[in-house]
Amino acid sequence: MLKVICVCGARPNFMKIAPLMEAFNASPKIEPLLVHTGQHYDERMSKLFFVDLGIPEPDMNLEVGSGSHAVQTSEIMKRFEPVVVEHKPDWVIVVGDVNSTIACALVATKLGVKVAHVEAGLRSFDRDMPEEINRLLTDSISDLLLVSEASGMENLKKEGVAAEKVKFVGNVMIDTLTKNRAKASESKILDEMGLTPKQYGVITLHRPSNVDDKENLSSILDAFDEIGRDMKLVFPMHPRTRKNIENMGLASRVESMSQLLRPEPLGYLDFLKLTSESALVLTDSGGIQEETTILKVPCLTLRKNTERPATITHGTNRLVDPNKDSILKAYREQMQRKMEDCGTPELWDGAAAKRICAVFEELA
Ligand code: UD1
């Protein structure tokens, strides 16, 4: 029996951990434990996803909460170390690129426990992004690098990572999307918000580069105001963004935008329904670039770079400099594009977690 500790901590981890836990729990050769670091803790940033996705209750919650990068990362490490010492797993499995990912990978490797990284090899080549640092460091200490898209294989090869450590398994986030599409279609969120399919846009925004600087955030809001003349925009606000809008004195500006609907952060199923039926998504999230690719919904990513280039080469995604003029130009062009011509990246087929499980069964 192979004992593995699966780690999750922040919102984008939950849809990656769900299919892994399901596959491991169904395997006679694997005994999984689930650790939640508590990096995200609000009901709407965490619990709702466990309910929507049927993720089992974590075996442990480290309840680290928010803090600066150093405080949060070190607190996760301090609290995760005794868990690994007590349970003596054969592997620690981390997903994505958040602080919980690198913190737990570092703890495990220093205790001599093998680390597997799910979503390895992605690179934005922008070291101003905290996630890029987390990706580089996690990959460099991982024993098994499980890759979601072709660019990840190329990046790791260029970095000289031994080929036997790397496996192209596909995208677990798409496993979750594929599994939950039918269920999400029953969500009543459109009726509740008074929305008509294909006549509204969806916004998500939380990257520090976009929301921690007043000038950048104001310019982006100006673009939303213009697009709002054509369609309603639904903007479920991340707590970081909501707090910044208040602290920067932008709340009254946002409130005056009558076409901008601002619900609390939504659960997985409601959000999937909302994006599936939308005319356009504007985002700075990583995962949403991937989801819109499969949903064939036009996506504008308000960033200078992406670590997920398959969403551009195969999918519906386009990068846009996050300022008013660039956003409006790209918006007009993107609305003319035929999304049916877009394809699907290799191995984004709903079976990535099964392939990962098979890799671990071989090791058992
Ligand atoms: C984190 C990840 C980011 C990911 C994002 C998804 C890192 C470095 N960043 O960013 O890669 O895209 O999650 O959401 O790991 N807060 C709450 N309630 C919560 C969680 C956070 O109110 O449940 C507020 C706190 O004020 C906190 C702020 O949001 O200080 C930021 O949270 P934090 O986890 O530090 O980073 P995110 O911006 O969420």
CA-nearest residue, atom 26 of ligand 1: 240
User: Which value, in Å, is the radius of gyration of the alpha carbons in the chain?
Assistant: 20
Average pLDDT over residues 249-273: 96
Q: How far is the CA of 67 from the centre of ligand 1 (A)?
A: 9
Residues 238, 288 within the same domain:
yes
The Cα–Cα gap between 331 and 302 comes to 11
Cβ atoms 142, 96 nearer than 8 A:
no
Q: Is the CB of 45 under 6 A from ligand 1?
A: yes
Q: What is the pLDDT of residues 222-253, one digit of tens each?
A: 999 999 999 999 999 999 999 999 999 999 99
Average pLDDT over residues 312-316: 93
The Cα–Cα gap between 156 and 90 comes to 24
Q: Is the CB of 66 under 6 A from ligand 1?
A: yes
Residues 141, 162 within the same domain:
yes
Residues 110, 74 within the same domain:
yes
CA-nearest residue, atom 27 of ligand 1: 66
The Cα–Cα gap between 305 and 319 comes to 7
Residues 293, 329 within the same domain:
yes
Residues 7, 112 within the same domain:
yes
6 is a domain residue: yes
Phi-psi region of 314 (alpha: psi -120 to 50; beta: other; left: phi over 0): alpha
Q: Which residues contact 231 (CB under 8 A, 6 or more apart)?
A: 199, 200, 201, 259, 279, 280
Residues pairing with 318 in the sheet: 300
Q: How far is the CA of 42 from the centre of ligand 1 (A)?
A: 10
Which pLDDT value is given to residue 2?
Answer: 98
Beta strand extents in 149-270 (DSSP E only): 166-168, 200-204, 232-234, 260-261
Q: How far is CA 119 from the centre of its chain?
A: 10
Mutate to test the pocket of ligand 1, among 66, 77, 242 (most ligand atoms within 8 A of CB): 66
* Domain with 156 in it: 2-171+348-363
Residues 125, 225 within the same domain:
no
Residues 355, 337 within the same domain:
no
Which pLDDT value is given to residue 201?
Answer: 98
CA-nearest residue, atom 30 of ligand 1: 66
Using CB atoms within 10 Å of the CB of residue 310, give its burial: 0 to 12 exposed, 13 to 18 middle, 19+ buried: buried
Phi-psi region of 5 (alpha: psi -120 to 50; beta: other; left: phi over 0): beta
Average pLDDT over residues 313-342: 92
Residues 162, 186 within the same domain:
no
Q: Is the CB of 131 under 6 A from ligand 1?
A: yes
Average pLDDT over residues 175-203: 98
Pair type for strands 2-8 and 260-261? unpaired
336 is a domain residue: yes
132 is a domain residue: yes
CA-nearest residue, atom 3 of ligand 1: 98
Mutate to test the pocket of ligand 1, among 98, 126, 134, 212 (most ligand atoms within 8 A of CB): 98
Q: Which residues contact 118 (CB under 8 A, 6 or more apart)?
A: 16, 20, 93, 94, 95, 96, 146, 148, 169, 172, 356
C-alpha torsion sign, points 195, 191, 315, 209: positive
Residues 166, 47 within the same domain:
yes
Residues 25, 123 within the same domain:
yes
100 is a domain residue: yes
On the question of pLDDT at 327 being above 90, the answer is: yes
148 is a domain residue: yes
Which pLDDT value is given to residue 42?
Answer: 97
226 is a domain residue: yes
pLDDT above 70 as % of the chain: 100
Q: What is the pLDDT of residues 25-50, one digit of tens each?
A: 999 999 999 999 999 999 999 999 99
3-state secondary structure 109-136: HHCCCEEEEEEECCCCCCCCCHHHHHHH
Provide the pLDDT confidence category of residue 338 given band limits of 50, 70 and 90.
Answer: confident
Name residue, tokens 């205790």.
111
Which pLDDT value is given to residue 70?
Answer: 98
| Side-by-side strand order, sheet with 91-95 | 60-61, 30-36, 2-8, 91-95, 114-120, 144-147, 166-168
**Can you tell me which atom of ligand 1 is nearest the CA of 72?**
35
Residues 151, 38 within the same domain:
yes
On the question of pLDDT at 103 being above 90, the answer is: yes
Active site residues: 206
CA-nearest residue, atom 4 of ligand 1: 98
Residues 71, 219 within the same domain:
no
**Can you tell me which atom of ligand 1 is nearest the CA of 101?**
15
Q: Is the CB of 292 under 6 A from ligand 1?
A: no
Q: How many structural domains is the chain composed of?
A: 2
Which pLDDT value is given to residue 336?
Answer: 86
Among 252, 195, 244, 201, residue whose Cα is nearest residue 224: 201
Whole-structure pTM value: 0.97
Which pLDDT value is given to residue 99?
Answer: 98
Residues pairing with 168 in the sheet: 147
Which pLDDT value is given to residue 341?
Answer: 79
176 is a domain residue: no
320 is a domain residue: yes
Cβ atoms 257, 227 nearer than 8 A:
no
The Cα–Cα gap between 251 and 64 comes to 29
Which pLDDT value is given to residue 26?
Answer: 98
CA dihedral 53→59→62→63, nearest 10 degrees, is 50
Q: Which helix (H) or strand (E) holds 283?
A: strand 280-283
The Cα–Cα gap between 20 and 130 comes to 25
At CB < 8 A and 24+ separation, what contacts does 63-67 make?
Answer: 63/38, 64/9, 64/37, 64/38, 64/39, 65/38, 65/39, 65/41, 66/39, 66/41
Q: In CATH, what number is assigned to the domain containing residue 285?
A: 3.40.50.2000
